[in-house]
Amino acid sequence: MTKSIDSNTSLADHFLVVRQQSVALCAPLRPEDYVVQPYPDVSPPKWHLGHVTWFFENFILAEYVDGYTPYDTALNWFFNSYYESQGPRITRSNRGNMTRPELSTILDYRRHVDERIAELLASDHREIIRIRELVELGCHHEQQHQELLLTDIKYILGTNPFFPAYTDEPVTTETQAAYQGEYLKVETGLHTIGHEGSGFCWDNELSVHQVYLEDFRLATSLVANGDYLRFMRDGGYERFELWQMEGIEWARSLEVKAPLYWVQDESGKWLHYQLGGGLQPVDPSLPVTHVSWYEADAYARWAGARLPTEFEWEAACKVAGGGVRNDQNWSDRTNFQPLASGDLLGDTWEWTNSAYLPYPRYPRPEGALGEYNGKFMVNQMVLRGGSCATPQSHARVSYRNFFQTDKRWQFTGIRLAWDGLS
C-alpha cells in the first residue's frame, strides 16, 4: 500500500477532515436512523462511526502508545468487523440490535481517539514513519466506510414506507444523448494492468502485470433508465434464456421485478427513491443504478452485448485518457445522483465479467491487515469505476471493488462491451 499524501500536506489536518466528514454525512439523520439494520448487508450508521474509530484505536494507539488505556474495551466486541485475529465480535446481522452504547458515547469515543491520534502525530515517536503510514491507511479505510455509510443510509430511508428524503436538494439531471452509440475501441495486444506510480493503492491493485486482449469495443455511455425500462417491458425478468441459472431463480424470487428502489404508483408509472428529494419519477436519461450482476449480465445479453472483463475496462479507461473527461460528475455531492457524464469514473460502479481473484505476485500483507482484502477473493465479481458516492481520491483506473452477484444496494450500473472493432 503506497503513499498518497505528499510532504507538503499535513497528515494531521487530513485526518481531522476525514473524521469530520463521517459525522457530517450523518447530520441529516434522525436519532432513530442511526440504529436500524433493515438488511444484513446494511450496517447502522452508529456502527460505522464506531468501527472506523476502533480501527485507529486498535491498530495504532493500542499498538504504538506505551501504556495506552483504551476508551472502553467492551467496544471491541461491537466494532470489530471481520478481523479474526482481533478476537470475538458481534454477528454482522445483529449490529442493528446495538441500542447501547448510545450515540453520545460513540461521538465521545471518536473525540477521545481523535485527540490521541493528533498527539501521536505531533510526537517524535521512534516509529513515526510507520504510524503515519497507518494513519493514512486508516483515513482511506474511513473514506471507504463513508461510501458504505451513504449507501446504507439510502437503504434505511429508501425502504422505509414513508420514503423520507436524506436531503431536499433537487436531483441534477444531464442528457445522455450525446454519448449514445459511441464506443471506445481497443485493439488486440498486450495491456498493462494494476496500480502504477507512487500514489496510494490497496494491496489488491498490485502487482502490475500484462494481459493479452483481443479487439473489443466499450460503450462510452452507461445503460440508462430508459434502456432498462425497454428490457423490463420486453419481459426481461421472465425470459430464462437471458439469465444464468442462479440468476433466473433469483429474479423469480423478487417481489418487484425492477432495480432496487423502483416502485410503481397506482397508474403504473415507475418511481424510484433518491437521496435528494425522496421518491421521484424515473428519469429515462439517467444511468440505471442499484442492479445486481445477475441483472447486468441478463440485460447485456438482451442488448446483444456482454459485460467487459475488468482488464478490458481498465485498458479502455486508459485509452480514454484515464476515464475522466471533465469534473461535472464531482460538482454536486449533496444528493449523490449518478450523472450521464460519459466518463468511466465517478458515476456508478460498473459490473464486470471478472471474478475477484489475486493478481500475479499479489503482495498480501502480513498480520491482521492481511485480512483486509485477500481473504475475500472467492465467489465475488469485480466492479470498476467508482460511483457518485465514492470519494474523488478513490476513483482511479486501477481501483477494484467486489461484491457477490446478488448485491445491489451500492450504486451499481451497467456498461456494455462487444467483440471486435466494428
Q: What is the pLDDT at residue 80?
A: 87
Residue type, position 230, single letter = R
Q: What is the pLDDT at residue 329?
A: 43
Question: Does the pLDDT at position 160 exceed 70?
Answer: yes
Rounded to whole angstroms, how far apart are CA atoms 54 and 46?
A: 12
What pLDDT digit, counting tens, does each position of 64-103 carry?
999 999 999 999 999 987 676 677 888 889 999 989 999 9
- Rounded-to-10 torsion of CA 307, 313, 290, 138: 140
Mean pLDDT, rounded, for 312-338: 72
Q: What is the pLDDT at residue 168?
A: 85
Percent of the chain with pLDDT strictly greater than 90: 78
pTM of the model: 0.93
Mean pLDDT, rounded, for 378-406: 94
Question: Does the pLDDT at position 245 exceed 60?
Answer: yes
- Model confidence at 333, pLDDT cuts 50, 70, 90, reads low
**Quick check: helix, strand or coil at residue 354?**
strand
Percent of the chain with pLDDT strictly greater than 70: 90
Mean pLDDT, rounded, for 42-58: 96
Q: What is the pLDDT at residue 81?
A: 79
Helices (runs of H) and strands (runs of E) counted in the chain: 10, 12
Query: What strands lie across the sheet with 183-186, from one edge to the other?
Result: 183-186, 216-219, 417-419
Question: Does the pLDDT at position 305 exceed 60?
Answer: yes
Q: What is the pLDDT at residue 287?
A: 94
Rounded to whole angstroms, how far apart are CA atoms 358 and 348?
A: 23
Q: Which residue has the higher pLDDT, 367 or 240?
A: 240
Mean pLDDT, rounded, for 146-161: 97
Mean pLDDT, rounded, for 42-49: 97
Mean pLDDT, rounded, for 392-401: 92
What pLDDT digit, counting tens, does each position of 196-244 carry?
988 899 999 999 999 999 999 999 999 999 999 999 999 999 999 999 9
Rounded to whole angstroms, how far apart are CA atoms 47 and 27?
A: 15
* Residue of 223, 238, 254, 139 whose CA lies nearest to 413: 223
Mean pLDDT, rounded, for 182-202: 94
- Model confidence at 156, pLDDT cuts 50, 70, 90, reads very high
- Model confidence at 44, pLDDT cuts 50, 70, 90, reads very high
Residue type, position 89, single letter = R
- Model confidence at 376, pLDDT cuts 50, 70, 90, reads confident
Q: What is the pLDDT at residue 3?
A: 43
**Quick check: helix, strand or coil at residue 9?**
coil
Rounded to whole angstroms, how far apart are CA atoms 224 and 239?
A: 21
Q: Which residue has the higher pLDDT, 172 or 199?
A: 199
- Model confidence at 340, pLDDT cuts 50, 70, 90, reads confident
* Residue of 201, 151, 178, 163 whose CA lies nearest to 338: 151
Phi/psi at 352 (nearest 5 deg)? -115, 175
Mean pLDDT, rounded, for 47-52: 96
Q: What is the pLDDT at residue 281?
A: 95
Cβ atoms 244, 294 nearer than 8 A: yes
Question: Does the pLDDT at position 194 exceed 70?
Answer: yes
Question: Does the pLDDT at position 330 exceed 60?
Answer: no
Rounded to whole angstroms, how far apart are CA atoms 15 and 167?
A: 26
Q: What is the pLDDT at residue 89?
A: 80
Mean pLDDT, rounded, for 99-126: 96
Question: Does the pLDDT at position 9 exceed 90?
Answer: no
Q: What is the pLDDT at residue 85?
A: 63
Question: Does the pLDDT at position 388 exceed 50?
Answer: yes
Question: Does the pLDDT at position 303 exceed 60?
Answer: yes
Q: What is the pLDDT at residue 331?
A: 37
Q: What is the pLDDT at residue 90?
A: 82
